Structure 1
């Protein structure tokens, strides 16, 4: 424990959440312990257990803390801009989690996957997919998208490519690469 100024409230909570992600990256979910998180946050275990009875609850709150609110429907009136905004939101979410969530999801152990999956699915991935699908349907109504391309399956292509890149390369797409994904892969797939 640090001998400096004692942190309380929001400062301590932020340090604990940061420690959760650092520990997830370092040891994975299976080996994640309240002791390890406390040491990383330079606080005592009691500070953790007073608020979170289990690591599942702590990880859930840490994810909710860093994940943005579900994205609203962009409805810019242009499919390209809608898709780019939504995929940027998804990419930025992965950056906010520092890849820790995906590391847990690709671990061999099933432990932790349920917690991570549920929070990420309800907070980001399902809303992004729903908004992407809505944008495709609206684009089809405006004549920007082939009617047979306005499907949930096609709405999954962009997010799948972002997650694949993160899982296999461990790299997040930059703005130019994300724009290229939209312009060179998705828009040609959607064109009438």
Structure 2
């Protein structure tokens, strides 16, 4: 009579596509939270995700590439925010997306990575810059351009510096003052800072 296999002895679950990717990324965040960046390994992630190490290496050459992809997948992107039909609504929607990125459910993982010197912090900064801040700037510039067409915005206000004002205020508040960003605060940023600065 055969003895049932224990959990650790059972073969890896056969998953593919998005389901497998999600399991791998979840394992990355879990391992970083428990072990930190330096002790995270491809082997450990594969074991936690119950998949083969070769599966990871077929797609990611090393743990840095894997972590960057996991961060990109976890972060909401302003590039996915559709136009809201008005300048105020556009900026509020973009700032809410930015807030969601800062308050991501993987915030503890981001903090763990940023706390380690060197590569860990660099990966977070690169991923957030590419996935969140660069798209925010592009979408904000488009919102400003639409405002110019409607006669709401001064043409000379369509600049990267103006587009960066909202993120700069959120980052300062989040990291230096209060990590809880309220809707009232976002509305105040838009109504008392951004709109007066760009209107004719």
TM-score by length of 2: 0.70
In structure 1, what is the equivalent of residue 75 of structure 2?
67
1:143 correspondence with 2:151: yes
Contact 1:139–1:145 (8 Å) recurs in 2: yes
Q: Is the 8 A contact 1:72 1:131 kept in 2?
A: no
Matched residues, number: 190
Looking at CA atoms only, which structure, 1 or 2, has the larger radius of gyration? 2
Q: Quote the Cα distance in structure 2 between the aligned partners of 1:12 and 1:2.
A: 19
Give the alignment of 1:82-161 within 5 angstroms: 82-96=90-104, 98-99=106-107, 100-101=109-110, 104=113, 106-107=114-115, 109-161=117-169
Tell me the alpha carbon deviations over residues 108-162 of structure 1, each in whole angstroms, 9 at most, x when there is no partner: 6231344444433333321210110222233234332344433211110111222
Offset at residue 44 of structure 1 (A):
6.8
User: Partner of 2:170 in structure 1?
Assistant: 162
Question: TM-score normalized by structure 1?
Answer: 0.72
User: CA contact under 8 A between 2:77 and 2:97: conserved in structure 1?
Assistant: no
1:81 aligned onto 2:77: no
CA gap 1:26/1:179 in 2 versus in 1, 3 angstroms: farther
Alignment root-mean-square deviation, CA: 3.5
Q: Distance in 2 between matches of 1:98 and 1:133?
A: 28
Contact preservation (8 Å) 2:12, 2:50 = no
Q: CA deviation at 1:27?
A: 5.1
Which consecutive residues of structure 2, in runs of 5 or more, have no partner in the other structure? 1-5
